[in-house]
Homo-oligomer: A and B are copies of this chain.
Amino acid sequence: MNEQIQTLCKEHNIKLTTARSLILEVLKRASHPLSYEQIKDKMNASMDKATFYRNIALFEEAGIVHKFESDDRKWYFELSGTTHAHFICEHCHQITCMEVDLGKVEGEVKSIVLKGLCKECHQ
């Protein structure tokens, strides 16, 4: 029953149920984006995937959570924060966060994903 999570939901008019609390607590502890499988494994309780995805969709609409696709055909989720970039390594599939200076861009940028080989895999 995290204080920050309660206020976060209250701010966005989202009722805080058990399922929602479980998802948000995992995301809050995470240091990088996680997939459904990864989030499920980090929860102390079981949750149906339909419940998970429906609540994630709710969070997304509210702007609390942000998602993007990696190159393994899975979606990765994280709490919205500062717009930072993710580097996905094509070899080891590790996702790391990084800062990128974009300069001026027309429109609104919500996510930046770089793919390639991380420094370890690139030798």
Which A residues are within 8 Å of any B CB, using their own CB? 68-71, 73, 87, 89-90, 98, 100-103, 105-119, 121-122
CA distance A117 to B118 in the complex (A): 28
Q: Can you list 26 contacts pairing A with B, beta carbon distance less than 8 Å?
A: A68-B71, A69-B71, A69-B73, A73-B73, A87-B107, A90-B110, A100-B102, A101-B103, A105-B114, A106-B119, A106-B122, A107-B116, A107-B117, A107-B118, A108-B116, A108-B117, A108-B122, A109-B115, A110-B115, A110-B116, A111-B115, A112-B112, A112-B113, A112-B114, A112-B115, A113-B114
Copies of this chain assembled into the complex: 2
Known contacts A105-B114, A106-B119, A111-B114; 13 further A-B pairs (Cβ under 8 A): A69-B69, A73-B73, A87-B105, A98-B105, A106-B122, A107-B116, A107-B119, A107-B122, A109-B114, A109-B115, A110-B115, A111-B116, A113-B113
CA distance A117 to B69 in the complex (A): 17
CA distance A112 to B86 in the complex (A): 10
